[in-house]
A = this chain, B = another copy of it.
Amino acid sequence: MTEFADRLHRSGRRMTPQRELILRAVDRLGHATPDEVHAEVRKESAAVNLSTVYRNLEVLEELGLVRHAHLSDRSPTYHSISDHEHFHLICRNCGRVDSVDPVLLVPLVEGLGREYGFVPDVGHLTVFGACVSCPEHAGEHTHERRTLEQ
């Protein structure tokens, strides 16, 4: 945790209980929206405010301790960078979310570099589409689909 404190200090910031709690909550949750992080934090301390969660997710991301991606129309989802880097696949029919190894992106990354001088942010990438094997599930998960209708 001293590494965490160091990073904070190096950027002219302070260590606070809230920051520890929020970082640990993100680690525990895997993928979570600010609201879900807030709920998780509150299990340990009911006093933490939602706006504090927002402010600190931003700080933690600046420090490179968490990342976010957009898996739904609604809120972004945050995850700790201790997970290996990955990108996401989202099926609009069944709502399944897959984490995919970035090797699959190598040709794309090379092509974009070569032809566009562009370096993609792989960890932020979200690919919407459909599982070929799940059209029969369409409509089953109506509520989740609603929020996936990107």
Contacts and interface: CB of A to CB of B under 8 A. Distances in A.
Contacts of A89: 112, 116, 118, 120
A72 to B, nearest CB: 11
Contacts of A70: 70, 150
A119 B130 CA distance: 5
A92 to B, nearest CB: 7
A117 interface: yes
A112 B104 contact: yes
A102 to B, nearest CB: 11
A140 interface: no
* A contact patch SS: mixed
Interface string A116-150: 11111100110111111100000000000000001
A118 B104 contact: no
| Copies of the chain in the assembly | 2
Contacts of A129: 112, 118-121
Contacts of A108: 104-105, 107-108
Interface of A: 70, 76, 89, 91-92, 98, 100, 104-105, 107-108, 111-113, 115-121, 124-125, 127-133, 150
Given A104-B112, A118-B129, 18 more contacts: A89-B112, A89-B120, A104-B111, A104-B115, A105-B108, A112-B127, A112-B129, A113-B132, A117-B133, A118-B127, A118-B130, A119-B129, A119-B130, A120-B127, A120-B129, A121-B129, A124-B128, A125-B127
